[in-house]
Amino acid sequence: MTPSFFSRRALVTPVLLAPLAGCSASDAANALTPRAGIMRESGLAYGPLPRQRMDLYRPADLAEAAPLLVFIHGGGWRDGAREQYAFLAQPMARLGLMVAIPDYRLWPGARFPAFVEDAALAVRMLAARERRRRLVLMGHSAGAFNAACLALDPSWGVQEAVGGFIGLAGPYDFRADEVNPPDIFPQPRIQAAPAPLRAVTTPPLLLLHGEADTTVGPYHSRILAERATTAGVRVRHVAYPGMSHLGIIAAMASPALWLGLADARVRDEVSAFLLSSADGGVAPR
């Protein structure tokens, strides 16, 4: 039997489509995450439509050439909002980064490729505005697919601006009938990287996945890592035994780490990738 992108359990459990197991959980994580020393610019427009807005986070002492992390949220292309991810943005900004979290159009108001086009528009605007910064794309679940399209497929027109990609439990090659509802995608098969990867143009990759993920099978990250290795693209792939689909994004929340409810190794991997030197993989190409 072919593993499905959204499992049967996910199809009948709406809570799995909500970021961090629902707004109440993300609200609690946001409320408990330290905000001191982090400035937030809310609702910055990157396009004319209501969902084409982003929040920017930065430390008070942000260096002129500090990296820029663009995080694309998940939610099955149906749910999610930038405000729910302050728990991720604030500790990342505390590392000395600028962090952008854009919204994007969702089903049923939009379908593929609209949400990837929105991500490309946001990246294009940020790359022009922050020319001195290396830009790293990161996404969870559906958001990892959106971000991977930009990092892996030059046809979206922004690959040259991307200095690294971090995928958390992302789907990268699947059938439309594995998605709920299938009408989100107009074609039967969807690939973040439809053409062979090229080492010259593809940025370094960090692919993290929970082995107990029943929403997006861990084989997605493994297969993409194999493709990258074959193409000579720099890639690090880590699979965490016993970790669920939501567990990997919960591991980015400081309150979950303090309470021993999440695996600190996930945030350590992300931090190391973001703060690596030019030789480590996130410098502009």
- Do residues 122 and 54 touch, judged by C-beta distance below 8 A? yes
Enumerate the domain spans of the chain: 8-280
Confidence of residue 9 (pLDDT cuts 50, 70, 90): very low
The 10s digit of each residue's pLDDT in 62-83 is 999 999 999 999 999 999 999 9
The class of domain 8-280 in CATH terms is alpha beta
The 10s digit of each residue's pLDDT in 135-156 is 999 999 999 999 999 999 999 9
The 10s digit of each residue's pLDDT in 232-275 is 999 999 999 999 999 999 999 988 888 888 899 999 999 999 99
H or E element, residue 98: strand 98-102
Residue 35 has a pLDDT of 63
Residue 111 has pLDDT above 70, yes or no: yes
Residues 33-37: contacts with CB under 8 Å, at least 24 apart: 33/86, 33/87, 33/90, 33/91, 33/253, 33/254, 33/255, 34/90, 34/94, 34/254, 35/86, 35/90, 37/94
Whether the predicted model's global pTM rises above the 0.85 cut: yes
Rounded Cα gap, residues 8 and 186, in angstroms:
21
Residue 255 has a pLDDT of 85
Q: Return all residues near 264 (Cβ < 8 A) that are at least 6 apart.
A: 251, 257
- What spatial distance separates the first Cα and last Cα of the chain, rounded to whole Å? 41
Q: What is the pLDDT of the chain when averaged over all its residues?
A: 89
Residue 278 has a pLDDT of 38
- Do residues 184 and 146 touch, judged by C-beta distance below 8 A? no
Residue 24 has a pLDDT of 62
The 10s digit of each residue's pLDDT in 185-206 is 999 999 999 999 999 999 999 9
